[in-house]
Structures are given as structure tokens and as C-alpha cells.
């Protein structure tokens, strides 16, 4: 049986959900930037230390190490930044990412249901 994961993320946290036909298991990973108040030197991006995103994304790739397929979802650009990080730093995870979708702020159960539908539809295409 394959291990399918869906990751909902924004710049503050990632919710890693392992999806099975009859349930799901969720783990949260928080961005270092969500815990530390930094004074910006200019612009919105100044709030984050340069290594914060890399640490966050590295921890996320570690949580996905057993994945066979990964669906990445979220409301903003964090999902795209994560995919770029994977492309550059986590080559072994790159072929496992089967989709990147924009979704708002659903509950864990809604995310798991969305992922089940997505993986079922993707399986039927193959």
C-alpha cells in the first residue's frame, strides 16, 4: 500500500497529513519565524531570518521522507517556495510531489478528504 501525504502550508506552519483510505494522521511543524519577533529593516520579507525558511523546509522534507506521493496545498506562496526548495535541496522528494494546489484554511478532515479525492483521481489517470 502506498503512503500518501498531503501538506497544507503557509509561512507560519505546515500540517503534514498521512492519508489512508479509512483515516488520517496529522503532524504540525511550525516555522522558526512564527516564534521569533524580528524587526524588519525594510519591507515585509525583512521579518524573516534568511535561514528560517530553509530550516522550516528542511524539517518538512524530513517529515515526508517515507512518502510515496505528496500533494502540496496552501493559501499563499509558501507552497511554491517549498517546491523551489525541494527542487534545489531535496532532490529525492521532487519526483514524489504529484500536485500543488491552492486551498484556503480547511480543517484537517477537509484536507484529508480533498487529498483522498485527488489521489483517487490521479490513480485513475494512470
Please check the confidence at residue 122 and state whether its pLDDT lies above 70.
Answer: yes
Write down all domains in the chain, each with its CATH number in brackets: 4-125 (3.30.420.60)
DSSP assignment of 20-68: ETTEEEEEEEE-GGGT-----SSSGGGGS-HHHHHHHHHHHHHHTTT-S
- What does the pLDDT look like over 25-76, one tens digit per residue? 999 999 886 544 444 554 444 445 668 889 999 999 999 999 999 999 999 8
- The answer to whether the CB of 16 falls within 8 A of the CB of 64 is yes
Long-range contacts of the stretch 79-87 (C-beta < 8 A, 24+): 79/7, 79/9, 81/53, 81/57, 82/7, 82/9, 82/14, 82/57, 85/53, 85/54, 85/57, 85/61, 86/57, 86/61
Residue 21 — pLDDT band, cuts 50, 70, 90?
Answer: confident
- What does the pLDDT look like over 63-114, one tens digit per residue? 999 999 999 999 989 999 999 999 999 999 999 999 999 999 899 999 999 9
Give dist(CA 110, CA 113) in Å, integer: 5
Amino acid at each position: 500500500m502506498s503512503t500518501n501525504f498531503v501538506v497544507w502550508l503557509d509561512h507560519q506552519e505546515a500540517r503534514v497529513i498521512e492519508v489512508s483510505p479509512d483515516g488520517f494522521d496529522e503532524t504540525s511543524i511550525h516555522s522558526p519565524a512564527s516564534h521569533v519577533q524580528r524587526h524588519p529593516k525594510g519591507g515585509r520579507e525583512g521579518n524573516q531570518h534568511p535561514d528560517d525558511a530553509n530550516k522550516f523546509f528542511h524539517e518538512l522534507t524530513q517529515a515526508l521522507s517515507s512518502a510515496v506521493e505528496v500533494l502540496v496545498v496552501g493559501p499563499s506562496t509558501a507552497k511554491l517556495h517549498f517546491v523551489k526548495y525541494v527542487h534545489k535541496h531535496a532532490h529525492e522528494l521532487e519526483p514524489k510531489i504529484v500536485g500543488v494546489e491552492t486551498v484556503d484554511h480547511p480543517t484537517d478532515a477537509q484536507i484529508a478528504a480533498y487529498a483522498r479525492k485527488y489521489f483517487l483521481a490521479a490513480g485513475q489517470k494512470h
